[in-house]
């Protein structure tokens, strides 16, 4: 299977929102769509899913125009959109039915994902509340246990609503999963929970498209990227190859004595400095090694000397910053 996105374009009047965007996924993995706010990422996703008409371009799944008939798609939207006054279980069963999942199987899958996402208490309320320690269980006059109503969407926090929507995205066991800002607003515990499930989907050979402002997360999962700015593609390709093309030019240096003078003498730019810990930009390994030699000859004790390629965050800021200058 393969996914090909070719020459997508969308305009509103004179404003170009997506300008001839193309990329492809020849096999399973994670593709990242990155960009500034308003760059056209969400519009691109909606055109891929046929939720929004394209001015031009095509999206092919296995050589055929992508539709929900020939591709099982799961979508977690950036805008959270549960129905606030309907029970969570009813909504999950409804969306499962839309994707052709039989009711009995849907219930099994809901129970599985409720456990994985630690959301069982919102979907399977107990028939009665457990009594506190030392307290006798109370019954109504009819000796019936009190029934607890299922939770509604608007009774949940935003993070827990996000869990339910993640369940909706995964309930049909999709081949193609599109995640628009999947970790936005989650606390660290739930962030790790979502990440674990994303890793499982990758290991299962799924195709994932991820849009996120969290560059560290993108680096953790994605193999290929497109960076967009003001509707246009400004950088595209394999993430490792892009980073290698920059070379090892970022140096993290920590010393026991003040090294600012030695750094300045070497003609190296200090990006940031805090308590004898420096983030430096060098021209390459030769300049870095010369600095290390000078520091040692000067009697400065080096604690950390880490020469590395730039991070995706640094590449993003540089590429987008060049355009905005």
Q: Is 256 helix (H, G, I), strand (E, B) or coil?
A: coil
Instruction: Retrieve residue 190's tokens.
Output: 């739930």
d(CA 54, CA 167): 29
Tell me how long the chain is. 325
pLDDT above 80 for 268: yes
The answer to whether 96 and 172 have CB atoms below 8 angstroms apart is yes
Which residues on neighbouring strands pair with residue 12, listed in sequence order?
A: 15
Task: Read off the pTM.
Answer: 0.82
Q: Where are the beta strands (DSSP E) in the chain?
A: 3-12, 15-25, 29-35, 56-61, 64-65, 73-76, 176-180, 207-211, 224-229, 232-238, 250-255, 269-274, 277-281, 302-308
Burial grade of 16 (CB within 10 A; 0-12, 13-18, 19 or more): middle
Average of per-residue pLDDT across 226-248? 92
Nearest to 73 by CA among 154, 160, 180: 180
DSSP, collapsed to helix, strand or coil, labels residue 111 as helix
Give phi and psi for 97, each to the nearest 5. Answer: -65, -40
Provide CB contacts within 8 A for 321, sequence distance 6+. Answer: none
* 46 Cβ neighbours under 8 A, 6+ residues apart: 52
- What is the rounded distance in angstroms from the CA atom of residue 24 to the CA atom of residue 61? 10
C-alpha closest to that of 251 among 237, 238, 267, 268: 268
Mean pLDDT across the chain: 88
The rounded Cα 29 to chain-centroid distance in angstroms is 13
Q: pLDDT (tens digit, 9 = 90+) per residue, 278-299?
A: 999 999 889 999 999 999 989 9
% of the chain beyond a pLDDT of 70 = 91
Q: Is 247's pLDDT higher than 90?
A: no
224 vs 138 pLDDT, higher one: 224
């Amino acid at each position: 299977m393969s996914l090909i996105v070719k020459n997508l374009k969308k305009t509103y009047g004179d404003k170009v929102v997506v300008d001839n965007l193309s990329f492809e996924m020849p096999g399973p993995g994670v593709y990242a769509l990155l960009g500034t706010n308003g760059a056209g990422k969400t519009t691109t996703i909606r055109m891929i899913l046929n939720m929004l008409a394209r001015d031009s371009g095509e999206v092919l799944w296995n050589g055929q125009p992508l539709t929900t008939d020939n591709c099982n798609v799961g979508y977690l939207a950036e805008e959270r959109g549960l129905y606030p006054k309907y029970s969570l279980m009813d909504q999950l069963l409804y969306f499962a039915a839309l994707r052709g999942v039989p009711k009995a199987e849907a219930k099994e899958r809901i129970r599985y994902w409720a456990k994985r996402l630690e959301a069982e208490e919102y979907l399977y309320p107990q028939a009665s509340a457990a009594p506190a320690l030392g307290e006798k269980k109370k019954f109504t006059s009819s000796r019936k246990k009190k029934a607890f109503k299922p939770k509604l969407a608007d009774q949940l926090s935003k993070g827990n609503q996000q869990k339910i929507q993640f369940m909706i995205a995964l309930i049909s066991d999709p081949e193609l999963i599109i995640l628009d800002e999947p970790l936005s607003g989650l606390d660290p515990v739930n962030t790790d929970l979502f990440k674990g499930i994303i890793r499982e989907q990758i290991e299962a050979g799924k195709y994932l498209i991820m849009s996120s402002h969290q560059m560290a997360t993108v680096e953790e999962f994605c193999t290929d990227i497109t960076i967009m700015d003001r509707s246009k593609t400004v950088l595209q390709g394999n993430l490792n190859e892009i980073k290698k093309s920059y070379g090892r030019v970022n140096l993290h240096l920590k010393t026991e004595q003040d090294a600012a003078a030695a750094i300045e003498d070497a003609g190296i730019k200090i990006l940031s400095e805090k308590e004898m810990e420096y983030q430096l930009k060098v021209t390459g390994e030769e300049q870095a090694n010369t600095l290390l030699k000078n520091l040692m000859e000067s009697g400065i004790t080096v604690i950390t000397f880490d020469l590395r390629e730039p991070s995706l965050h640094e590449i993003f800021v540089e590429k987008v910053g060049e355009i905005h200058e």
